């Protein structure tokens, strides 16, 4: 595969480092063009890789002509979008015009309901892309959307549970927590963190459809594996809730992750003084800039500040339902250690976890193992080859059987066999 990665930040850097570390296992990637508005940054990434198949280019993700020129110059077959979701529509549409495949980690942005934003869903995450699915299918090209860790790996876990672990599914609840200490406030993109945390969270219920709720609502304590333990998690807007119900028959889908109380308050404070604004611009000297874009420039880079961060992060999908007529509850997950990821991939565990999903999905697409035309999320494909490759790329998955009737039966059967 000849791949264009737009964005030489943490995720883009992790992708190419994961592929390189895989050695022969990464041979499916014939060429990767790492492109960024900041050419120096792209050149630094390529310089550290030291392989001819990795090439640096300058690109403006807001300009179709800039994207098309790089695609044409390098005979690109697939584009990975690794920049802020604000650029998604432009990159997505440009890939369609160029007739090449497209992959992103986060879908096109939502727009709040103007009258009742904390009850009614309006334009949802990914609506722009799924509205164009028929045109992509007719053209015979693939757009794989929401393909990081959450969304992405978490969606594959849901599909795996449907295929192998349940006869019927009640709830799919994505849960994300960590025990990180040290580093800065932001372990991931500053722009994206503000966007998803301050937007109204979305919930899906069969019969009701998608609806919104208050920010940071419905706190619960979830016990995470890997030595992380109990973490309070809250509702946050996220793509899995918009993706999973399109493919998997279930009654309810939610997304919650561990946003510390002091960090929640800081985000709300930024919003109250207008610093979270992403569209309206303010004049600073002779230039104009959106307040959120200004924050991105002045807040310490998550890539740099997370170098001192110690601890583990867990991303996973908690599925409930029935198996063999008994209630079952299972948590499928992946745990990553921050310092181990920095040592292996030069990037923190948050972005490394985000990057391994696209690496596996791009391999499966390049080999024709995953092959659907149109616009799809990861839950549309066979989960087995993805799960198998997690261990190959050093991100093995785990499965925790939660308390349930089915778990009791397993324990009873095990005791009888002793």
CATH number of the domain within which 392 lies: 3.30.360.10
pLDDT, position 416: 76
Q: Would the pLDDT of 417 be above 80?
A: no
**How many percent of the chain have pLDDT more than 90?**
88
Catalogue the long-range contacts made by 81-85 (C-beta closer than 8 Å, 24 or more residues apart): 81/6, 81/7, 81/105, 82/5, 82/6, 82/7, 82/9, 82/11, 82/12, 82/15, 83/6, 83/7, 83/9, 84/189, 84/191, 84/192, 85/109, 85/192, 85/195
* pTM confidence score: 0.94
Is position 417 within any domain?
no
User: Which pLDDT tens digit goes with each residue over 38-63?
Assistant: 999 999 999 999 999 999 999 999 99
Is position 292 within any domain?
yes
Is position 413 within any domain?
no
Is position 117 within any domain?
yes
pLDDT, position 300: 83
User: Which pLDDT tens digit goes with each residue over 94-151?
Assistant: 999 999 999 999 999 999 999 999 999 999 999 999 999 999 999 999 999 999 999 9
User: Which pLDDT tens digit goes with each residue over 273-282?
Assistant: 999 999 888 8
Across residues 210-218, what is the average pLDDT?
Answer: 97
pLDDT, position 188: 74
Q: Mean pLDDT over all residues of the chain?
A: 95
Structure tokens at 292: 């959120």
Across residues 192-198, what is the average pLDDT?
Answer: 92
Across residues 330-343, what is the average pLDDT?
Answer: 96
Domain count, the chain: 1
Catalogue the long-range contacts made by 256-260 (C-beta closer than 8 Å, 24 or more residues apart): 256/173, 256/174, 256/175, 256/176, 256/218, 256/220, 256/222, 257/150, 257/175, 257/176, 257/177, 257/233, 258/176, 258/177, 258/178, 258/231, 258/232, 258/233, 258/234, 259/197, 259/216, 259/233, 259/234
- Residue 65: domain span: 2-407
Q: What is the DSSP string of 373-392?
A: -EEE-GGGS-SHHHHHHHHH
- Indicate the pLDDT class of residue 418, thresholds 50, 70 and 90: low
Is position 415 within any domain?
no
Q: Cα–Cα distance between 402 and 404 in angstroms, integer?
A: 6
Is position 416 within any domain?
no
User: Which pLDDT tens digit goes with each residue over 389-398?
Assistant: 999 999 999 9
Residue from 178, 226, 179, 174 nearest 196 by CA: 174
């Amino acid at each position: 595969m000849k791949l264009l990665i737009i964005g030489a930040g943490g995720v883009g850097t992790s992708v190419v480092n994961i592929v390189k570390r895989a050695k022969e296992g990464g041979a499916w990637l014939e060429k990767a063009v790492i492109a960024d508005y900041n050419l120096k940054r792209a050149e630094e990434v390529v310089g550290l890789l030291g392989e001819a198949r990795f090439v640096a280019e300058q690109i403006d993700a807001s300009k179709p002509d800039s994207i098309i020129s790089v695609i044409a110059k390098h005979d690109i077959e697939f584009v990975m979008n690794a920049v802020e979701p604000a650029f998604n529509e432009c990159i997505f549409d440009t890939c369609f015009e160029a007739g090449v495949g497209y992959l992103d980690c986060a879908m096109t942005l939502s727009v709040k309901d103007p009258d009742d934003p904390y009850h009614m869903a309006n334009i949802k995450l990914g609506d722009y892309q799924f509205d164009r699915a028929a045109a992509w299918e007719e053209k015979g090209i693939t757009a794989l959307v929401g393909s990081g860790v959450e969304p992405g790996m978490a969606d594959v876990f849901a599909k795996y549970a449907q295929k192998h672990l349940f006869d019927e599914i009640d709830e799919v609840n994505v849960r994300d927590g960590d025990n990180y200490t040290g580093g800065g406030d932001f372990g991931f993109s500053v722009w994206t963190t503000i966007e998803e945390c301050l937007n109204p969270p979305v919930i899906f219920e069969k019969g009701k459809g998608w609806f919104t709720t208050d920010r940071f609502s419905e706190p619960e304590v979830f016990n995470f594996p890997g030595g992380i333990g109990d973490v309070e998690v809250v509702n946050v807007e996220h793509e899995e809730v918009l993706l999973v119900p399109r493919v998997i028959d279930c009654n309810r889908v939610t997304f919650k992750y561990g946003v510390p109380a002091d960090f929640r308050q800081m985000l709300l404070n930024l919003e109250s003084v207008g610093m979270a604004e992403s569209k309206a611009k303010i004049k600073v000297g002779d230039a104009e800039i959106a307040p959120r874009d200004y924050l991105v420039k002045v807040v310490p880079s998550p890539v740099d500040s997370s170098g001192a961060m110690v601890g583990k992060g867990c991303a996973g999908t908690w599925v409930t339902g029935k198996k063999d007529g008994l209630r079952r509850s299972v948590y499928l997950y992946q745990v990553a250690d921050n310092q181990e990821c920095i040592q292996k991939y030069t990037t923190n565990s948050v972005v490394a976890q985000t990057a391994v999903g696209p690496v596996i999905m791009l391999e499966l697409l390049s080999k024709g193992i995953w092959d659907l035309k149109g616009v799809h999320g990861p839950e549309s494909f066979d989960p087995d080859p993805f799960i198998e490759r997690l261990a190959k790329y050093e991100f093995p998955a785990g499965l925790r059987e939660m308390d349930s009737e089915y778990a009791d039966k397993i324990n009873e059967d095990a005791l009888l066999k002793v």
